[in-house]
Amino acid sequence: MDSAVRHAHFRFYAELNDHLPPGDQANTLEKSFYVSSTAMDMIESFGVPHTEVELIVVNGQSVDFGYVVQDGDRISVYPMFESVDITPELRVRREPLREPKFVLDVHLGKLAAHLRMLGFDTLYRSCYTDPELARISSKQGRILLTRDRGLLKYGAVTHGYWLRNTDSRMQAAEIMRRFDLSNRIRPFTRCMACNGLLQHIAKQDVLPFIPERIAETHDEFQRCPECGRVYWEGSHHKRMLRFLGQLAA
């Protein structure tokens, strides 16, 4: 049995360095091993979730996650290119998500409301388990958003992102930048409570469901066909408009 130690050198680019200790960031890192394993396993051994990797280049050639790392390999690892088409290159997954939709872990309820307000298809329930989140992400082609790196290491998850910020509004801005979504915002088209697509509804049809003072001052209404919630332009709407302005700034 060959027991000789082998070495490979890894370099992580852009925001993938956020997962590395400060002293390792933006440096070439040596990985010693006795038994060869896949590129995905070795990348995750550095703490980098495979879901944030879009391109792996070994000795100048692009490879997939299943590539078996060899002695002397020099491996460059790049983040997702959701806003750039790199079709000519071999990706580690079949294709990027050009119509982004999301599923969020149980700690991101406020972010879910923000993303729905912006018009993005966003699944969220406070009772989702980690295996359920991984399954939903895989089967429905949803980007899994989380603050838990471990959740992004589920093998079933192909598209995911670890949020750097902890404030929900800063997280929303982070997602807009990371996935180049500024031109895809469709504000006030989804229910912030359940994610349903809102429909315009005649005033007389909502009178039984709204306060009298609102009926006296408003004429335009939307209702969610999924949960029945009714929306109109109130003070909360103005606050959300200010938030949209901040995202666009």
Tell me what pLDDT residue 189 has: 95
Spell out the domain ranges in the chain. Answer: 6-79, 102-184, 199-248
Instruction: Please give the CATH architecture assigned to the domain spanning 6-79.
Output: Roll (3.10)
CA dist., res. 249 & res. 245, Å (int):
6
Tell me what pLDDT residue 82 has: 52
pLDDT tens digits in sequence order for the chain, 249 residues long: 457 899 999 999 999 999 999 999 999 999 999 999 999 999 999 999 999 998 999 999 999 999 999 999 999 999 976 554 545 555 666 555 567 899 999 999 999 999 999 999 999 999 999 999 999 999 999 999 999 999 999 988 988 999 999 999 999 999 998 888 888 899 999 999 999 999 999 999 999 989 999 999 999 999 999 999 999 987 777 777 787 777 765
Tell me what pLDDT residue 125 has: 96
Tell me what pLDDT residue 121 has: 97
Place of tokens 């004429």: 219
